[in-house]
Each structure stands twice: as C-alpha cells, then as structure tokens.
C-alpha cells in the first residue's frame, strides 16, 4: 500500500518573466496542486500515488514523465482522449506579483470520475489528500472527491479556493458537506469560512466548529506570518522560516507536503508544523511550483548560515 494517495488536475505550465502580450521566451514545466504535494512527499521519502487524466498529447506525456521521474506512482493515471492536457500560464508582474491564466475548461482532467479514483484506494493508503480545486473542475471530479472522502480512509482537504474557477458560495456548497469525512483541514485564514458553518463568524468559532464536527486537526496557513495548528487539546502557532522570496507560487502545496510528512512520521503538532513551514520556505525560496522542494537531507540547509558554502 502507498502512504498517501491523491488525485486532481495537473497541467502544462508556461512561465514568462514579463507581460505575456509582449511575447518572448517562456519556460515549460508542469503544475497541479495535488501533484505538487505528491512530489513534495516523494522527495521526503514517502510512497505516494497520484491519479488523474491527461490528454493524448505531448504535454500529457510531460506530466506523466515528470511525476514518474519524481518517484510518484502513476499506475492509476491515464490518457483520456476526450480533451487536451490543461495549460496554465504564469506571468511575473511587479517583481514578485504573479498573474495566472488558465486554459483548462474541457481538459482531459475535467472528465475524471469516481470510477477512475476508486481502484487507486485499494489497498487503502494511510492518507488521502484532496483539494478544493478538484470539485470546481466539473461534475465528474466533484463526484470523485465525494466518493473518495467517503471511502473510510483518513482524508486531508486543502481548501485551496480558486476565484478563477468558481465563486465562494458555490465553493462553500461543495466543500461544507465533505467536513464530516475529513480528518485534516488546511486553509488560509480567509478560506476557513468556506468549510465552517455560516453561523461561525470568527476564526476561533470556525476552528471550534470544525473540531466539533469531527475534524481532528485544523491547520491555518498565514503566508509570511507562518501557520497555526489546532486539535481538540492543543493549539500551536509557528512563525515562517526566513528566506529570500523568489516565487511564492506553490508555497501552500509545499506546506501541505511537509505537514503530511510529519503526520506520517508521527511527529507531534509542533513537529508537523515545523516541517510544513520548512517545506513551504523551500518553495518560496526557489523558482517554480515544485522544483525546489527539499529531500530529507535538504531540510537541514535551512539551519545553515546565510551565505555559507557547505563543503
């Protein structure tokens, strides 16, 4: 059995250092919240499976080849000819402000169904990771998330609200019903309201309502301000690791990979959050969504003197 199973859409990603409308060179890679988490976990030595559909095209091959090269199990991923592999464009504007545009409507991945995912949960993984992006992709992906959440395995949801895909009301309507099946909820402070009941109006009340509903741990990402973790019996705040910011895209996914790695390693809440802010720091300190994610040995680099050479 694998340690973690996850599924979702992974796209070809093109990155421009300036305005796309001016043309010029772009770098080609892949991007997908769940596959970013999968790569992060694989680099830390965990056994992880990613499930998804790619188009019968060269960018689909790039997605599969990259995940295979990173040691992610793609035995349940497949090509689907109903649509192309999705595409995401990043353009860097104003230094570290990045604008994203999608070409993903009707993509192969938007045809994912519960039947594609079910076999990948046999034998059951120790953890299943889903994001709030997947139910926004279409009815099939939404039903896959519902079915997977009810499979009886321990589920982690990263709320990951994407305003380009749907509005907050639709997101809340799709995500709130999942709560009774969730073991771990990860959210930014502004995303908690999408999973907590509308009657809860403060962060404290939202966290309490989720714990009350049976969620074992609620983790709040606060960007450069760090993160907080809550269980029924404990509450821990940790600062972010200080690094030079290069590219913040993917920080949240890297953070989740670190958190789940800590959970798999039976670290306590503080240990899980420490690993999460460490992997998050690697993501912001390096270009790309996942390219800079650390191996276990790399984690120690955060404690090195700035400007030092390790020989």
Provide the minimum distance between the beta carbon of 121 and ligand ATP in the complex, in angstroms, as a whole number.
Answer: 25
CA distances from 108 to 32, 69, 122, 191 (A): 14, 22, 24, 28
Furthest-apart CA atoms within the chain: distance in Å: 57
The minimum distance between CB 116 and ligand ATP, in angstroms, equals 25
**Candidates 23-31, 39-47, 168-176, 276-284 — which segment interacts with ligand ATP by CB under 6 A?**
276-284
246 near ligand ATP (CB under 6 A): no
126 binds ligand ATP (CB under 6 A): no
Among 243, 267, 301, 302, binds ligand ATP (CB under 6 A): 243
The CB-side HSE value for 303 (13 A sphere, CA atoms) comes to 6
CB within 8 Å of 8: residues ≥ 6 apart: 32, 33, 34, 35, 50, 52, 109, 130, 131, 133, 134, 141
Stretch touching ligand ATP by CB under 6 A, among 4-12, 105-113, 250-258, 263-271? 250-258
Residue 192 makes contact with ligand ATP by CB under 6 A: no
How near is the Cβ of 61 to ligand ATP at its closest, in Å?
26
Catalytic site includes residue 247: no
Subset of residues 172 to 191 that bind ligand ATP, contact rule: CB under 6 A: 188
Interface with ligand ATP includes 253 (CB under 6 A)?
Answer: yes
The DSSP line for 292-309 is T---TGGGGGGGSPTT--
- As a whole number of angstroms, the distance between CA 207 and CA 230 comes to 7
Would you say the C-alpha torsion 6, 10, 15, 19 has a positive or negative sign? negative
| Active site positions, annotated | 253
Residues that bind ligand ATP (CB under 6 A): 188, 221-224, 226-227, 240-241, 243, 245, 248-253, 255, 277, 280-281, 284
């Amino acid at each position: 059995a694998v340690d973690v199973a996850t599924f979702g859409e992974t796209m070809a990603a093109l990155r421009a250092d300036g305005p796309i409308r001016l043309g010029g060179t772009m770098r080609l890679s892949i991007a997908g919240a769940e596959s970013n988490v999968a790569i992060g976990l694989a680099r830390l030595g965990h056994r992880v499976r990613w499930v998804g559909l790619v188009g019968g095209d060269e960018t689909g091959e790039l997605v599969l080849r990259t995940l295979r090269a990173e040691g992610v199990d793609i035995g349940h991923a497949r090509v689907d000819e109903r649509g192309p592999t999705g595409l995401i464009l990043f353009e860097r504007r104003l230094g570290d402000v990045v604008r994203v545009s999608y070409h993903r409507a009707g993509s192969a991945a938007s045809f994912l169904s519960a039947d594609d995912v079910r076999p990948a949960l046999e034998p059951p993984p120790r953890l299943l990771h889903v994001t709030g992006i997947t139910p926004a992709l279409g009815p099939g992906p939404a039903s896959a998330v519902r079915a997977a959440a009810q499979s009886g395995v321990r589920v982690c949801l990263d709320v990951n609200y994407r305003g380009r895909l749907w509005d907050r009301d639709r997101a809340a309507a799709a995500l709130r019903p999942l709560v009774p099946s969730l073991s771990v909820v990860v959210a930014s402070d502004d995303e908690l309201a999408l999973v907590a009941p509308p009657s809860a109006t403060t962060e404290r009340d939202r966290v309490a309502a989720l714990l009350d509903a049976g969620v074992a741990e609620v983790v709040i990402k606060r960007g450069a301000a760090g993160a907080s973790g809550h269980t029924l019996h404990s509450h821990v705040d940790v600062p972010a690791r200080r690094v030079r910011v290069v590219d913040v895209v993917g920080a949240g996914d890297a953070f989740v990979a670190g958190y789940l790695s800590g959970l798999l390693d039976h670290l306590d809440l503080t240990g899980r959050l420490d690993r999460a802010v460490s992997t998050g720091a690697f993501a912001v300190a390096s270009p790309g969504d996942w390219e800079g994610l650390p191996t276990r040995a790399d984690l120690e680099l955060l404690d090195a003197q700035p400007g030092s050479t390790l020989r």
